[in-house]
Amino acid sequence: MSEVKKMQQEDYQKMFDLAQYAFQFETSGAYQERFEYLAKHSINYGSFEGDNLASQVMMTLFHVNFFGQKHQMGGVGFVSSDPSFRGGGRIDQIMQELLNDCREQGILFSYLAPFSYPFYRRYGYELLFERMSFNIPSEKWLKTVAKATGNVRRVNWEEAKDVLQVIYAKSMVKEEGYLVREDWWAYYRFELNRSNYYAIYYDEQNEAQGYLVYQINNGVFTCVEWQFLSKNAQQALNRYIASHIDSVKEFKYEQSFKKVTPFFETATPLAHVSIRPEMMVRIVDVEAFLNVYPFDTLSKSFAITIEEDRYASWNEGTYEIVVSDERSVSIKKVQQTILPKLTISVQRFAQLFLGYRSIEELLFHEFMEADEEVISIIESIEPKKTPILEDYF
């Protein structure tokens, strides 16, 4: 059986070559610089056949927000194999070691962007995030009628970087699931791209209240990210975008889908908006997760049974969530229970307790089993907000 090892800087060229072959991205020096910069901030797992790198997985360490708390997350990317060595279960071995490492290091979540949802579901991942896309001919872009106060300035990265971090943090403060961006990641995501422009909106007090990161290529204006803290900021940045109508043929814009569209905002709603599934999530350690879950509104005790979890077998079994007369909550793994019980896979458990789907929906589609009494209990504590993610890795 092949051995999995953690790769270091001397392996970066082999890593880049394998990833480039697998994903067929460009081989420019700038792209390789970005790849190696990310590798330096990641744990890189490789399976070798002699000196040949046969398979690899990159896990980048991040923090994400759930329930007003910051948690560690391992972002999985560049999963790739040399076709000469496929069929040996190498990715299985890597994913098993990766998940073991996550548990040992207290990394509670793992995110990834799948090439195949069924493939990654076998490792316990499940769809959690969706994305909304706008592709609009330039003449159809919705123009802001009223002129906003304040002004928009186009700036360089050095002027923009601190403003972007502050506004992003403020705009995300009431959301769930998002990445807590460290400075190195913001630099990788935006400036190492090399083709981004930056525009900042300042109000009448010269306070930054919004920003736009965008690109213009081959007549297409792409909004990479658009964040604002006020209606004035939104309108001013919209006017800034609209000022390019005569110089581009199309506008592209994507954002996290929160189960609502912007159709209600304007007299003439945009006609073409598409919604697509995007990134998946895995809860690495169910018991650790239950110990940080906000059971503030829980009034009755219940139990959860997690079905087979092949690559994280420590999650399998039954957990009692017991609320005392003083409303304190304790979590205990047990062999059997007499409490009203929910029986669920680790994948659907993540969708339910991270706010992607309700117990009502999951029961309707027969994705779980629940004693009658437990349904109202779960409804009283399930998240009310849809998780969002603006980052991709």
| CATH number for the domain running over 132-277 | 3.40.630.30
Tens of pLDDT, residue by residue over 223-267, are: 999 999 999 999 999 999 999 999 999 999 999 999 888 877 777
- The pLDDT of residue 389 is 98
Whether the pLDDT of residue 17 is over 80: the answer is yes
* pLDDT band for position 194 (cuts 50, 70, 90): confident
Please report, rounded to a whole number, the percentage of residues in the chain having pLDDT higher than 70: 98
What are the φ and ψ backbone dihedral angles of 209, each rounded to 5 degrees? -125, 0
Examine domains 132-277 and 281-381 and report if their fold is the same.
no
Query: Percent of the chain scored above 90 by pLDDT?
Result: 88
58-117: pLDDT as tens digits? 999 999 999 999 999 999 999 999 999 877 899 999 999 999 999 999 999 999 999 999
- pLDDT of amino acid 291: 98
Fold of 281-381: Nonspecific Lipid-transfer Protein; Chain A (3.30.1050)
Cβ(355)–Cβ(385) under 8 Å?
yes
Q: Rounded to 5 degrees, what are φ and ψ at 67? A: 60, 35
Give the pair of three-digit tokens for residue 348. 């659907």
CATH class of the domain whose range is 4-107? alpha beta
- At residue 103, the pLDDT reads 98
Which distant-in-sequence residues (6+ apart) come within 8 Å of 96 by Cβ? 311
pLDDT at position 1, please?
A: 54
Tens of pLDDT, residues 330-354: 999 999 999 999 999 999 999 999 9
What does the mean pLDDT of the chain come to? 95
pLDDT in tens, 23-63: 998 888 889 999 999 999 999 999 999 999 999 999 999 99
Spell out the long-range contacts of 120-125 with Cβ–Cβ below 8 A and sequence spacing 24 or more: 120/280, 121/280, 121/347, 122/310, 122/311, 123/95, 123/99, 123/282, 123/311, 124/99, 124/282, 124/283, 124/309, 124/310, 124/311, 124/312, 124/315, 124/346, 124/347, 125/280, 125/281, 125/282, 125/347
Parse the chain into domains and list their residue ranges: 4-107, 132-277, 281-381
